[in-house]
């Protein structure tokens, strides 16, 4: 048996290839949209990809099933409850997929979504205990998939939670302890709240250590797994729907166009949104007015999907030689409308000096002084709920998590100075730039965020 996990750090997303080395038949599970890595591995080993399985309709990225099928002729498999615009193979409880001696067996594990499935992997068809189970977003290492993403039209979080209770507590925990667990996501994903940095585990380890695998009633389970979830990024519902649809294929050979200053500014004037992927410090030193800062060195795709509009044309200001990377990472979440990137940004920004402005960033000490002054600013805390609860908060701060900010702008006063902070200064730069993009005029963010504030000798915390 050939078994490989492909892990994408910026989306905390895992995909898999399983093959029988004797027959050369392979299946790819939960592929991302840029599929060359899987195809290159298959070609190098003489494999033929015969099938692509999505464990559910992913909300956090656009899956690469259509790209894989177009390149290989493979069938596309989903759980039997899935309905799509393209032809699929519906997979039901107990269905088997024979790759040779290597065999896959389907378990229906709804709860994160109604159509969710897990895939049991048998190294030999006659083995009494599976080699492992690909659990999708039903069971993570240290957590379970959240049932409240509203990606499933017509099904409530409580109904999904009840399904998830059965899937986790009875079906998955009914497997032998030795079965390896291979989830679709790791730490950092918004699909759960307590995901481990480990990329695989066993059923036995999860039975002993995962809070959601401890035997409990359905009511207690639903209350536990839905409590304390962070706000879902704004693009999740869009991607879940897009994964059901026949859509344009991603073409890695189509690089974003290099635009000169005049063309770039003309497109911005026509309504395109500028996404500046440089480091917050570079952005603060000078950026185009109205640009939204989403740094490339971080959870770029998820954060871009949180703050950028779904239907706008995008213009990219990228770190040196990273234009194609930025366009690919946007395409992974279905943001395909990249009109181009600013050619030679350093020189171009100098040439557009009248359109360039710095961003205000305050030290924690300057924020302290401002709060004690005659016209104290409104402090906006864009951390998640759990971060505030664990670490404390600035007295009187307006708490709006970054994931909620685009839909809660009406709660923010426009006649007061604003100062945004997060944990360390990354998300606050994103949030502050979004506020400026939306017309808020006096906006700063805090260098070092809460970490810097907490080092002050007498922090105003509760």
Q: State pLDDT tens for residues 60-102.
A: 999 999 999 999 999 999 999 999 999 999 999 999 999 999 9
Domain end, chosen from 215, 242, 269, is at 242
CA 256 to chain centre: 22
The runs of H, that is alpha helices, within 185-235 are 203-209, 218-226
Q: Mean pLDDT over all residues of the chain?
A: 93
Same domain, 232 and 277: no
Q: State pLDDT tens for residues 147-183.
A: 876 545 678 888 899 999 999 999 999 999 999 999 9
Q: Is residue 249 part of a domain?
A: no
Backbone angles phi, psi at 309, to 5 degrees: -70, 145
Strand order in the sheet with 75-79: 2-8, 13-19, 25-29, 48-53, 75-79, 89-91
Q: Is residue 306 part of a domain?
A: yes
Give 276's strand partners. Answer: 293, 317
Q: Is residue 76 part of a domain?
A: yes
Q: pLDDT category, 8, cuts 50, 70, 90? A: very high
Does residue 229 have a pLDDT over 80? no
Structure tokens at 343: 């050619």
Q: In terms of C-beta density within 10 A (0-12 exposed, 13-18 middle, 19 or more buried), how is residue 327 classed?
A: buried
Phi and psi based region of residue 422 (left: phi greater than 0; alpha: psi -120 to 50; beta: remaining): beta
Same domain, 169 and 276: no
Q: Is residue 458 part of a domain?
A: no
Q: Is residue 252 part of a domain?
A: no
* Residue range 254-282: mean pLDDT, rounded: 95
Same domain, 407 and 384: yes
pLDDT of residue 461: 47
How far apart (Å, rounded) are the C-alpha atoms in residues 38 and 32?
10
Domain end, chosen from 357, 373, 403, is at 357
Same domain, 201 and 290: no
Q: pLDDT category, 263, cuts 50, 70, 90? A: very high
CA dihedral 254, 63, 232, 234 (to 10 degrees): 40
Same domain, 132 and 201: yes
pLDDT of residue 158: 83
Q: Which CATH number goes with the domain that contains 73?
A: 3.60.15.10
Q: What is the DSSP string of 350-405?
A: HHTGGGEE--EEE-HHHHHHHHTSSSPPEEEE-S-HHHHHHH--BTT-EE--GGGG
Same domain, 61 and 145: yes
Q: pLDDT category, 459, cuts 50, 70, 90? A: very low
Same domain, 55 and 201: yes
- In this prediction, what percent of the chain has a pLDDT beyond 70? 95
Q: pLDDT category, 190, cuts 50, 70, 90? A: low
Number of domains in the chain: 3
Domain end, chosen from 301, 324, 357, is at 357
Of residues 208 and 151, the one with the higher pLDDT is 208
Q: Is residue 185 part of a domain?
A: yes
Range of the domain at 158: 2-242
Same domain, 132 and 262: no
Does residue 187 have a pLDDT over 70? no
How far apart (Å, rounded) are the C-alpha atoms in residues 181 and 172?
10
Q: Is residue 460 part of a domain?
A: no
pLDDT of residue 285: 96
pLDDT of residue 98: 98
Same domain, 110 and 149: yes
pLDDT of residue 391: 85
Q: pLDDT category, 462, cuts 50, 70, 90? A: very low
Q: Which CATH number goes with the domain that contains 378?
A: 3.40.250.10
How far apart (Å, rounded) are the C-alpha atoms in residues 326 and 301?
9
* Residue range 237-261: mean pLDDT, rounded: 93
Q: For residue 91, what is the enclosing H or E element?
A: strand 89-91
How much is the pTM? 0.92
Q: Is residue 114 part of a domain?
A: yes
pLDDT of residue 156: 82
pLDDT of residue 252: 85
Q: State pLDDT tens for residues 18-45.
A: 999 999 999 999 999 999 999 999 999 9
* Residue range 210-232: mean pLDDT, rounded: 86
Same domain, 79 and 184: yes
Same domain, 227 and 91: yes
How far apart (Å, rounded) are the C-alpha atoms in residues 346 and 328?
22
Same domain, 341 and 211: no
Q: State pLDDT tens for residues 129-150.
A: 999 999 999 999 999 987 876 5
């Amino acid at each position: 048996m050939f078994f490989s996990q492909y892990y994408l750090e910026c989306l905390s997303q895992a995909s898999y290839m399983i093959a029988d080395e004797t027959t050369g038949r392979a299946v790819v599970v939960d592929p991302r949209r840029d599929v060359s890595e899987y195809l290159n591995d298959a070609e190098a080993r003489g494999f033929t990809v015969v099938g692509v399985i999505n464990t559910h309709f992913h909300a956090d990225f656009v899956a690469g099933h259509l790209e894989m099928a177009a390149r290989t002729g493979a069938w596309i498999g989903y759980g039997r409850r899935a309905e799509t615009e393209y032809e699929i193979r519906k997979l039901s409880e107990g269905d088997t997929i024979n790759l040779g001696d290597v065999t896959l067996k389907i378990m229906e594990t709804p709860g994160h979504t109604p159509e969710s499935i897990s895939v049991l992997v048998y190294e030999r068809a006659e083995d009494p205990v599976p080699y492992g189970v690909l659990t999708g977003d039903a069971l993570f290492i240290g957590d379970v998939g959240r049932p409240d993403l509203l990606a499933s039209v017509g099904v409530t979080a409580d109904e999904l939670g009840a399904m998830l209770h059965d899937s986790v507590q009875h079906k998955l925990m009914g497997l032998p302890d030795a079965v390896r667990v291979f989830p679709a996501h790791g730490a950092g994903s918004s699909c759960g709240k307590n995901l481990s940095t480990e990329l695989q585990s066993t059923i036995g380890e999860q039975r002993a250590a995962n809070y959601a695998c401890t035997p409990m009633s359905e009511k207690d389970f639903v209350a536990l797994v839905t409590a304390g979830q962070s706000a879902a990024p704004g693009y999740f519902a869009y991607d879940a729907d897009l994964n059901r649809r026949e859509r344009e294929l991603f073409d890695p050979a189509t690089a974003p166009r290099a635009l000169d200053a005049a063309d770039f500014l003309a497109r911005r004037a026509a309504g395109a949104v500028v996404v500046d992927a440089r480091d917050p410090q570079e952005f603060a030193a000078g950026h185009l007015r109205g640009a939204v800062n989403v740094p490339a060195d971080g959870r770029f795709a998820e954060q871009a999907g949180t703050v950028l509009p779904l239907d706008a044309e995008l213009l990219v200001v990228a770190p040196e030689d990273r234009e194609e990377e930025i366009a690919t990472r946007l395409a992974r979440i279905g943001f395909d409308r990249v009109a181009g990137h600013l050619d030679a940004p350093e020189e171009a920004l100098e040439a557009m000096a009248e359109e360039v402005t710095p961003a205000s960033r305050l030290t924690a000490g300057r924020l302290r002084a401002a709060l004690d002054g005659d016209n104290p600013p409104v402090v906006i805390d864009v951390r998640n709920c759990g971060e505030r609860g664990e670490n404390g908060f600035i007295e009187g701060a307006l708490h709006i998590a970054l994931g909620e900010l685009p839909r809660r702008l009406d709660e923010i006063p426009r006649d007061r100075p604003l100062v945004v902070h997060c944990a360390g200064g990354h998300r606050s730069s994103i949030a502050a730039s979004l506020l400026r993009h939306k017309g808020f005029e006096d906006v700063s963010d805090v260098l070092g965020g809460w970490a810097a504030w907490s080092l002050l000798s007498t922090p105003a915390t509760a």
